[in-house]
Structure formats: C-alpha cells, structure tokens
Structure 1
Amino acid sequence: MNIHIHPTPQNIGASLGARIREGISAANAAGLPYMLGCPGGRSPMPVYEALAAALAAQPVDCSLLIVAMMDEYLLSDRDGRLSPPPTAAHYSCRGFGERHIVGRLNAVLPEAFRVQPHNFWVPNSTDPDAYDDRIASQGGIDLFLLASGAGDGHIAFNPPGSPRQSRTRIVELAEQTRRDNLATFPDFSSLDEVPGHGLTIGIGSIAKLSESVAMIVWGAGKREAFRRIATAAAYNPAWPATIACECRNAELHADKAAAGE
C-alpha cells in the first residue's frame, strides 16, 4: 500500500479532489460513468470541499458521476422492524451525502453538469445484498474513499470480527463504533441517542468491487488507526479498516498529526 503523508487535512483534500476531478474528466472522454465510493463523517470532508473548489474553478460534466454511499443508520420500531432515519436527521448518512457531497458539488456546477438524482446511491435496507450486484453491474467503484474508526477500526459500519468475505448487510453496531460516532455526529447528546443497528457495505464488497481505494486518516486521534493500517500485511478482523491493504491500487493518506511526524 502506498503511503502519502501530507502537512494538513486540507492538503489531503486537495490531492484527492484533483485526482477525482481528473478521473471524472477521463471517464467522460471515454463515454463511461465514474463511480465514487463515499463515506460520511469528518474524515472525507476535506476531499469533498476540495473537489467542489476544483469543479468551481474548472467545471467538469458530472452528470454521469455515480456517488455510492457506504452505509446508513437503522432505527427500530415497536415491532423490531428496522428502517433508515429521515434524511433531515443530523446523523442520516443519506442526508449527509445529499447535503455535503451531491449538494456541495451541484451548487458550483452549471445545471447540465450536475450530479443526477438517480446517480446518488445508498444501500437498501429491504434488500441489502442487491447493493453489491448493482455496483458490479456498473463495473465497480473507480475510487473508494475509506475512513477508519479511531477506537475500534470500524470501516463503514463493519464492526471488529467482520468476516473477510462479507457483503452488504445489516449489522449490530459495536459500542465503541457508537462511541466514535458521538464525535462524528456531535449533535448526539449521549450514547443512548446513537442507533444500535446499521446497514453497511461489506468487507469483501470493498475489496472486490473497488478498482482503487484511498484510506484517509488525519488528526492525532487517528494515530493508532494510521499505525495499524500502515503496518498491516493482511486483513485483521480485530481492526476492519486493515482491509485497505488487500485492495487493488491501495493508498493511505494521512496528515503529519496522524502519522506522528
């Protein structure tokens, strides 16, 4: 896995934002869609901000861009049935993608160049396994942005112990994952407010369906994540984000704070 150390999170964003813009442009020239795998939360925000800035400076047609989200929280009703939260909820992963990815990009693009509603993808809780097939039918994910939980190395909502070959599925969230998400979504006032279940793309799905991946870790709080991923030789289910080292064309992007430099 190629390791890139950047001075700041903004430098990570600028590097990957420029790469994504070039990838979209090259796909357009070939008449192909470009699929970007996207996590929510803090880690990828510098990339989304930088990509929007790059598109504002030099617009590129994003009407064929597919934004594929990784996961979503699930709420349980009185009968125990699980369903996604409203997109207006501050912790909704769909809502995050609509506001901070698609909304941010479309705000700087002319109408004809904007990301199309049907090209914004989120796994479906009523048929999770179909997500893998849908991604595969489009040729896979050109670049999958990845992030690691600080406390337990979860990737998307895959908890420690997740099987290497797992596909998109519903999981019970580990307590440490839920604690990490108190910082990811600061409007949660207590652990009790963090949902206990999630819909997540699988460990095997990430490795099998990605042409390239970029793991993003920044901040001193991610030093253990950086150490674990940078030294991994194979997938370690105790730290699920180590799947990055088994992916094709894998890169680890960290700032100096996360790398301990």
Structure 2
Amino acid sequence: MKVIKVKNYEEASQKAFEIFRDQVKEKPDSILGLATGSTPIRMYELLAEDHKVNGTSYKNVHTFNLDEYYGLAPTHPQSYYYFMTEHLFKFLDIDLNNVNVPKGNQDIQAECDRYNTMLAENQIDLQLLGIGSNGHIGFNEPGTPFDSVTHYIELDESTRKDNARLFFDGVLEDVPTHAVTMGIKNIMEAKRVVLIACGDNKATAIKGLVEDEPTTSLPASILSTHPDFTLIIDEGAASKLDK
C-alpha cells in the first residue's frame, strides 16, 4: 500500500488527476474503472480542463463504472450514467460506445451476468474508488463477501442518508433502496487501484483500512492486500491514524 497524505480535498484531487492523466498518456487505449459520488468530482474537472488545454485524448479509452442505482434509467438526473455524462464524458473526446455503466433498469441478474462477462474480457488498468463512511467501496456494503462479483444489493441506511444529504436535497425517501454494483473480486482484479478519501467522516474507515486486518465488516480493508494500491488521504481522513 502506498499512502499519499495531502492537506485538503483540492490537493487530493490533483494527485489523483495526475495519476489518471499519466495513465492515459502512457497507454492511450487504457481501460479505466470510474467512480461516482462527491469525491471524484474535482478530479473529473481537472481531467476535463487538461483535455481542453493540453489535448490529452480519450478517444481510445474504455471505461467501466462501479455501480448504478436500481430502478433508474440512464436519463434520470440522479442516475450514475447521467452523473458521469455531466461531470466528465461530455467534456472529453471519448467514444460513448466505449463507456460502460451498469444498467439499473434492466433484468438485474441478466445485467449482472453481462457486466461480469465484460469485466472478465476487459481487465481494468486503473480503478478509481471513493470510500463510504461505513467502509463500503462501490456499493459493496459491510458483510459483502470478498469473492463477490457484480451483484444486486440493498443499500445500508447510512449510505442512503449520506447520499440523500449530498445529492437528493436531504430527502431520504428519494434515494433508491437498492443498486447494482461491481463486486469486491471485480475491483481487486484491476491492475492498479487508487482510492481518494477526504474529511473527518472517513477517518474511522481509513483507520480500519490502514491499521487492521481485512474483514468483510469493512469492505475497503481488503485493498491492503492489493499488489498495487495507492491511498490518497487528506488531513481529516488521516486524523485517526496511529501509524
């Protein structure tokens, strides 16, 4: 595990941006694993700015997103496909045929099978992650087996409350109760993994990830066993670390 400690969210976003920009420059046909939520927004802004100013091209890049809310069509303003389009894809020269986000409004088992097949055929070069306050990665909530692949999952109330506050104007009832998510095994099969964590509310989960043995009660803890894992944390997220 490589740990990069920075002062704040802006610096964390800059570090992550540099890693992803360099990956695309070094391998123009990279397969990138992408995340949603509040954490990667600034990194995506920096990627868009770099493309506009410096011309870094994404025309041969393929992407796979971690997850999607169950029941939302890709055109829904709270869907993760819509999120990715509004925050990143529309600012790049990426071929939208190369963009992959799980479909939350399809036959769920068929969609999980389809996504697993695609991931098996397209090893991710660089996977981006955030972390939930309860230690989830993707939508793999506490208790998810480490050998899980893409699956349908019920969201913890804590996750729904966090997402209500950030994206649903505080209305918990508007947050879907289930999602489709890459499994932990899918995530661990990426060649490289980068996780960004910022803020005091992530400190307990980060302490468990860095200092404790892997446990399914803290899904992100398995990342400490990945052969090429980079953790980017700000002062708030690092505030409970003893090591």
Both structures adopt the same fold (TM-score exceeding 0.5)? yes
Structure 2 counterpart of 1:153: 135
Answer yes or no: is 1:25 the counterpart of 2:12: no
Post-superposition CA distance 1:51-100 (Å, at most 9, x none): 2222223112211111211101112xxxxxxxxx1334332111111111
Structure 1 counterpart of 2:57: 61
Answer yes or no: is 1:238 the counterpart of 2:222: no
Structure 2 counterpart of 1:40: 36
How many angstroms apart in 2 are the aligned matches of 1:90 and 1:229?
33
Superposition misfits of 4+ residues, deviation over 4 angstroms: none
Consecutive unaligned residues of structure 1, counting only runs of 5 or more, are 76-84, 107-113
Residues 13 and 42, structure 2, Cα contact 8 Å, conserved in 1? yes
TM-superposed deviation, 1:123: 2.0
Residues 12 and 46, structure 1, Cα contact 8 Å, conserved in 2? no
Answer yes or no: is 1:127 the counterpart of 2:111: yes
User: Normalization by structure 1: what TM-score?
Assistant: 0.84
TM-superposed deviation, 1:188: 4.0
Q: What is the one-letter code of the residue matched to 1:184?
A: L
Residues 164 and 174, structure 2, Cα contact 8 Å, conserved in 1? no
Q: Rate the CA distance shift 1:193–1:14 in 2: closer, same or farther, 3 A.
A: same
User: Normalization by structure 2: what TM-score?
Assistant: 0.90
Q: Rate the CA distance shift 1:116–1:167 in 2: closer, same or farther, 3 A.
A: same
Residues 65 and 115, structure 1, Cα contact 8 Å, conserved in 2? yes
Residues 129 and 167, structure 1, Cα contact 8 Å, conserved in 2? no
Consecutive unaligned residues of structure 2, counting only runs of 5 or more, are none
- The RMSD of aligned alpha carbons is 1.7
Structure 1 counterpart of 2:76: 89
Residues 213 and 248, structure 1, Cα contact 8 Å, conserved in 2? no
* Candidates 179, 182, 203, aligned match of 1:198: 179
Identical positions, percent: 28
How many angstroms apart in 2 are the aligned matches of 1:245 and 1:123?
26
TM-superposed deviation, 1:242: 1.6
Residues 13 and 51, structure 1, Cα contact 8 Å, conserved in 2? no
Structure 1 counterpart of 2:6: 6
Answer yes or no: is 1:177 the counterpart of 2:177: no
TM-superposed deviation, 1:9: 1.2
Q: How many pairs does the alignment contain?
A: 235
How many angstroms apart in 1 are the aligned matches of 2:222 and 2:82?
27
Answer yes or no: is 1:220 the counterpart of 2:200: yes
